[in-house]
Structure 1
Amino acid sequence: MAKTADITSHSKELAMELTGKTVLITGAARGLGEAFAIELAKEGAEVFLVDVGSAVTAVAERINVSGGQAAAMVGSIVEYDFCREVVATLVSRFGKLDAVVNNAGLIHEAYFWEDDPEAMRALVEVNVLGTMYVGRAVGAHMKNHGGGVIVNVSSDGGGGMPQYSAYAASKGAISSLTYSWALDGDGHDIRVNAIAPFARTHMSLLTPTLAPNPPDPALIAPLVTYLVSDRSEGISGQVFRFTSTELGLLQHPRIKEPILKRDEWSASDIREAIDDDLSQHLELVSSLGWRPSRMQDPDQVGAE
């Protein structure tokens, strides 16, 4: 069980950071979601916590006992009616909705040719469809009530992960949603960003070889505080990679140079172009540095 947050011991300056703001956090029963909830409450926000299990109510209770303002609902974000009910209940309780942190997610390990179809469906429903449903519900409210902030939880694993293709695909989708929602929100005072965190959670415990020695989730929370706060005004459409000691940005997907042009291309032309002009520009197949076997030895590029 996480230690009870001593909200009243925070400095006055920090306690005023998010005073008056209301924040919805999904997947808030443990791990990053719990850490975000505690940190945002410390900073003065009223937090509304959602998760599928009753443990989320205990997190809300600990925040309230420590001097914060929190409420919780138990249910699944893969049901759109539940997402709408969450927004209605939050607004009824706190009077408004300023921000949402889309944190809920699943992970499992499997080679793609062995993956269980039901596990794949469940993961995509929570990680992608659930995020979309929450975004749909809160976005409609924000558009009609002066704007707001959305923070999605993505991963640099969206660039490719061996034996975690379903998870990687879902996180790639979250980054894409972030870019798209930021474009939609431009002009409506809706800012949308994402974080790609590295932290000790139940997910990282399932991937020890990919995520050795992860930091405490509480060390990731300040980035969410910044993105929810007015200090990040004007920042939208970004995916921030944060490890608690290193902060950076994931590069937006784009067509890279060189772009080769012909009036007409044959298969032989394409092979020649890839083996020659494009060979030194082939991409890593993951942010962790894996390359296809044909790319391991530069002398093998273009070989039969």
Structure 2
Amino acid sequence: MELYFLGTGAGMPSRQRNVTSIALNLLSERGVYWLFDCGEGTQQQILRSHVKLGRTEKLFITHLHGDHIYGLPGLLTSRAYLGGETPLTLYGPKGLKSFVEHSLAISQAHLSYSLKIVEIENEGLLFEDAGFIVETSRLEHRIESIGYRIVEKDQPGKLQHEKLAAMGVASGPIYGQLKQGKSVVLEDGRILNGADFVGPPLKGRKVVILGDTKYCRGAVHLARGADILVHEATFAKDRQELAEAYAHATTTDAARTAKEAGAAVLIMTHISSRYQIDDEEQLLEEARSVHLQSYVAKDFWSMEIERA
């Protein structure tokens, strides 16, 4: 599981940062990518990355400001041109369905795959299958903005092959039964209990990706115990009044959220174009004065999400 940042700027693109889009690499877990937001130029950013558009399974939109959705019509159409045939599910606030359907209809675009659009009406559980849970919470911005909490379910522990081999147990169907926790009887009469040969469960990872927001309790609640929190930090702390006027967060707002939520790692994104590469150290120092494990994301920067 890996976070890959396709765009990390706020409002409008700059030479250093494109507008917002984040990929969650789940190739090892389920063979796909999930995307979060799709600002203008996202498909160009994808072409410069290892992300495969045709293997995108889900696309989550945090809110309907242009720097988070203007790349959608082009990306959806390009996915069809590139031979994408697997279904794609698009999640986001009310109004997303109208925006996408009108854009595609007016441009006479034809998709070669099934597109499902889910408009989020209520907070809480959004999606669940055998491997993952996705939950949502409303944030505080100028328009409706949503945060997403992605929870990987705990995985069974690893079968201790070396221990079995040392006991002279050859690999085969018996290994599968033991991994399921079953007891098996060997040909020589020995009884093996699966629980004795399976390691402890692998704890699932938790990633929280927020839309634009000022500091709010909804963000803290959603980020509880997260391994990684991705939070906007549009402004440095000396622009607190400006941040509040536009319902955005500063570096210290983001760090405060991470600290209060007990998030292990904070990654700041949605950086205003007023800040250049030389300013990043200042932004980082401000956040780390509140929450030590803080980072500033850059375009095409990634972070592997390790198990605790």
Query: Under a length normalisation based on structure 2, what TM-score does the superposition of the two structures give?
Result: 0.35
Higher relative contact order (CA 8 A, sep 6+): 2
Return the structure number with greater strand share.
Answer: 2
TM-score of the superposed pair, with normalisation by structure 1: 0.35
- Structure with a larger share of its residues in helix: 1
